[in-house]
Chain A
Amino acid sequence: MTQTEQPDRTTPPPAPAVRAVGVIGLFGSPEPLLRAAERFRDAGFKHWDCHTPYPVHGLDRAMGVRPSPMGKVTLTGGGVGFVLAVLLTGGLSVFQYPLRIGGKPLFSWQAFVPIFFELFVLLATLSTFVALIVMCKLGRWHSPLHDTGVMKEITCDQFAIVLRGDAATEDQPALEKARRILADCGCPDVRPLMEEA
């Protein structure tokens, strides 16, 4: 825990130098967000995203996000688990510690099927879990969005569309355009995205 996160209640902190690094549009319902997302997509913005309290149906299409490749990760992980299970049971039962029981073959694979299945499931889910953390970019505890205080609205009931771009540089026209689109879509609450300089 760093000191910077703890709000100091005795003395007001010195106002940090902040600069606008983007635009946030907040909506009270998902429908106008979908329209705004389509306009943002067509405008060809680079660094933008929507933030919603729950998964909104059709938003991925409106944003032009490609489908998740998660299924391939799961299947690959499961395949690795299966192969590992075959190697583990076979390797130990045939080479490392051969036990001849009831005249049955050392690699009596039928009896190993439960292990194959369980390790398939275990590795499939483990890889899905890790892939989820990586793909969703979890584990980044701070971002301008978190630190602006708008997160409180998003995780409750507000639907946000966020464009990142530096107002001081050549992104200025893009931010202007985003503000216009948000106004067109009737966005009731447009805020600047601030970052400490």
Chain B
Amino acid sequence: MSVSSNNSESTTPAGPGEAYLTNRRLDDDIYGPLESFPTSRWWLAIAVTGSLATLFVVCLVITVGQGIGRWGVNQPVGWGFAIINFVFWIGIGHAGTLISAILYVLRQTWRTSISRFSEAMTIFAVIVALQFPLFHTGRPWNAVFWLVPLYNDMSIYQNFRSPLIWDVFAVGTYGLVSLMFWYIGLVPDLASARDRAIDPTRKFCYGLASLGWSGSARAWVHYERAYILFAGLSTALVISVHSVVSFDFATALLPGWHSTIFPPYFVAGAIFSGLAMVASLVLILRPMFRLGHLITLGHVELMNKLIIATSLMIGYSYVMEFFMSWYSGQGLEWFVVVNRAMGPYAWSYWLMVGCNAVVPQLLWIRRVRRTPALTYPIVILVNVGMWMERFVIVVTGQHRDFLPSSWGMYFPTWVDMGLLAGSFGVFLTLVLLFCRFLPTVAATELKAVQSRK
């Protein structure tokens, strides 16, 4: 990511032109918000997100109680909102791994200010994403036997040639590895929280979670080595995960899905959408917890540069999809892309192109990159656009079947809508709880980065 290499000077953690923070002041700024009673704004926010999360649960109960028929999926569109939401949320997680692992391996120290938060986002996004395929199986209590090779009395096992089974292994591994990576990073910070705590309950909880971490130099030697190994493995893993997710489509024979561009296209799109989600949350977090001196405008600008870079990759993929369909000479392939752009779902296609490839170009303007109020609408539109991209891929790929007599349209039900809105509720509730109980900025790592300046 060469976009960020020449700017490291202006994005020291202390912020451009500011004196470095003392470590004590840093701790006060990061742990302070956790130690005071939550503000009324926090309660208001969690009331809204908690209600949406409840809606999610209600819709799941309806789905399990009455069946998948409550969703809008039918012939010919058998994959609807659930798969769209799954791919969308898994993609959101990828920016967290980009920031925490890939930028760590590339020694981009500016990542430190936002890494903890994005890693947390990864884990919550994976948790939310996993609900969709799980409930799409219809009987989630049996799903463990369908998805994981476990001994069973009928002696029936998985077909490992299936990308859906690859997906189970890829996403499962991704969730577990992200969780361990996040926890390793948290341990020294939890120890700080433990030692600052006055309330005995807090002290006990943080003490239990920090595993008795004492900052021993002999432990740091192992810790640093483990951290870089985790980062390296996560880097390879994150690329594999969305590639495997794209195989769910790419190995199918449907025109519009059966395409070799899918793995890189999905990975770039995942990182693009994830960065937009990081930006949408961080821009709220900064003023809310008064972290403007830790997450500076320089950081916002660098994230925006990454968004432009990935937006260009996405735009290139859109063009290439068209070009390859034409160049292949396959009538069905060409039909699919023309149908996308001019068929009944043209609105979603042009919304996708507009939000993902056109609107982010405004970030070329320096003033837009460095003004949160101007950046914010752009990143929200990118979130919309990336959801639409998955909609376009999933729905337009299926709704025109091979036989025109089988053609149909996809109509989501209110349960589908409720699950979509509810998934945001669950995700944001988890984010709010995280902000309440765990340090949102990697304080220990920030101290180390500062000391090297």
Interface readout for B410-453 with A: 1 if CB under 8 Å, 0 if not? 00000000000000000000000000000000001101100110
Is the pair B27, A140 in contact by a Cβ cutoff of 8 Å? no
Whether A135 pairs with B214 at a CB distance below 8 angstroms is no
User: Contact between B218 and A65 (Cβ–Cβ < 8 Å)?
Assistant: yes
Q: Contact at B222–A151, with CB atoms within 8 Å?
A: no
Are A56 and B216 in touch, CB under 8 angstroms?
no
Quick one: given A112-B160, A129-B180, are A53 and B217 in contact (CB under 8 Å)? no
Q: Decide: A152 and B196 in contact? CB cutoff 8 A.
A: yes
**In the complex, chain A residues whose CB is within 8 Å of the CB of B448:** 54-55
Against B, the Cβ 8 Å flags (1 = close, 0 = not) of A114-127 are 11011101101110
**Complex Cα distance A156/B194, Å?**
11
Most buried by A among B180, B207, B215, B216: B215
Q: A70-B225, A121-B237, A138-B213 are in contact. Are A128 and B230 (CB under 8 A)?
A: yes
Which residue of B has the minimal Cβ distance to A99? B159
A51 and B215 in contact, given A5-B204, A121-B173, A156-B24 (Cβ under 8 angstroms)? yes
A29 smallest CB distance to B (angstroms): 9
Chain B residues within an 8 Å CB radius of A155: 188, 191-192, 194-195, 213, 215
How many residue pairs, one in A and one in B, have C-beta atoms under 8 Å apart?
199
Q: Choose among A89, A117, A133, A155 the residue with the greatest number of B CB atoms under 10 Å from its CB.
A: A155
Contacts of A139 in B (CB 8 A): 211-212
Main secondary structure of the interface of A (DSSP, over half): helix
B244 in the interface, Cβ–Cβ < 8 Å? yes
Does B200 sit at the interface, judged by CB under 8 A?
Answer: yes
A1 in contact with B204 (CB, 8 Å): yes
- Give complex CA distance A157, B31 in Å: 14
Q: Are A124 and B233 in contact (CB-based, < 8 A)?
A: yes
Q: For residue B249, give the distance in angstroms from its CB to the closest CB of chain A.
A: 15
Tell which of A114, A141, A157 touches B166, judged by Cβ atoms closer than 8 Å: A114
Would you list which residues of chain B between 16 and 30 have a CB under 8 Å from chain A?
22-24, 27
Q: How many residues on B have C-beta within 8 angstroms of the other chain's C-beta atoms?
A: 65
Pick from A30, A101, A156: contact of B195, CB under 8 Å: A156
| Residue pair A6, B200 in contact (C-beta under 8 Å) | yes
A44 within 8 Å of B (CB atoms): no
- In the bound complex, residues from chain A placing their C-beta under 8 Å from that of B149 are 88, 92
Q: How many residues of A contact B (CB 8 A)?
A: 68
Q: Which of A142-150, A172-180, A185-193 contacts B (4 or more CB under 8 A)?
A: A142-150
Which single residue of chain A is at the shortest CB-CB distance from B23?
Answer: A157
Whether B217 pairs with A52 at a CB distance below 8 angstroms is: yes
Chain A residue at smallest Cβ distance from B444: A54
**Contacts known (A54-B188, A96-B155); A68 close to B222, Cβ less than 8 A:** yes
- Map CB proximity to B onto A60-78 as digits: 1 under 8 Å, 0 otherwise: 1001010110110010000
A83 to B57 CA separation, bound complex (whole angstroms): 40
Please give, as numbers and ranges, the residues of chain A lying within 8 Å of B184 by CB-CB distance: 129, 132
**Within the complex, what minimum Cβ distance (angstroms) separates A28 from chain B?**
10
Contact A54 B180 (CB under 8 A): no
Closest to B177 in A: A125
| Residue A136 lies at the interface, judged by CB distance under 8 Å to chain B | yes
In the complex, A59 has a CB within 8 A of chain B: yes
Q: Does B161 contact A (CB under 8 A)?
A: yes
Whole-angstrom CA separation of A111 from B176 in the bound complex: 23
Residues of A within 8 A of B173 (CB): 118-119, 121-122
| Contact yes or no, B169 A114, CB < 8 A | yes
Q: Report whether A131 and B226 are in contact in the complex, using a CB–CB cutoff of 8 Å.
A: yes
Specify which chain A residues have a CB less than 8 angstroms from the CB of B447 in the assembled complex. Answer: 53-54, 157
Given contacts A93-B160, A128-B230, is CB(A68)–CB(B225) below 8 Å?
A: yes
Kindly state the separation between the CA atoms of A6 and B428 in the bound complex, as whole angstroms.
35
Could you give 21 example pairs across A and B, Cβ below 8 Å? Answer: A49-B218, A50-B216, A53-B447, A54-B215, A55-B223, A96-B157, A101-B161, A114-B240, A118-B166, A118-B169, A126-B176, A131-B222, A136-B222, A137-B219, A138-B213, A146-B214, A151-B191, A154-B195, A155-B192, A156-B23, A156-B192
List the 8 closest pairs (A to B, CB-CB), nearest first.
A157-B23, A136-B219, A54-B448, A138-B211, A50-B217, A97-B157, A114-B166, A68-B225
Q: A-side interface residues toward B, CB under 8 Å? A: 1, 5-7, 30, 37, 49-57, 59-60, 63, 65, 67-68, 70-71, 74, 88-89, 92-93, 96-97, 99, 101, 104, 108, 111-112, 114-115, 117-119, 121-122, 124-126, 128-129, 131-133, 135-143, 145-146, 151-152, 154-157
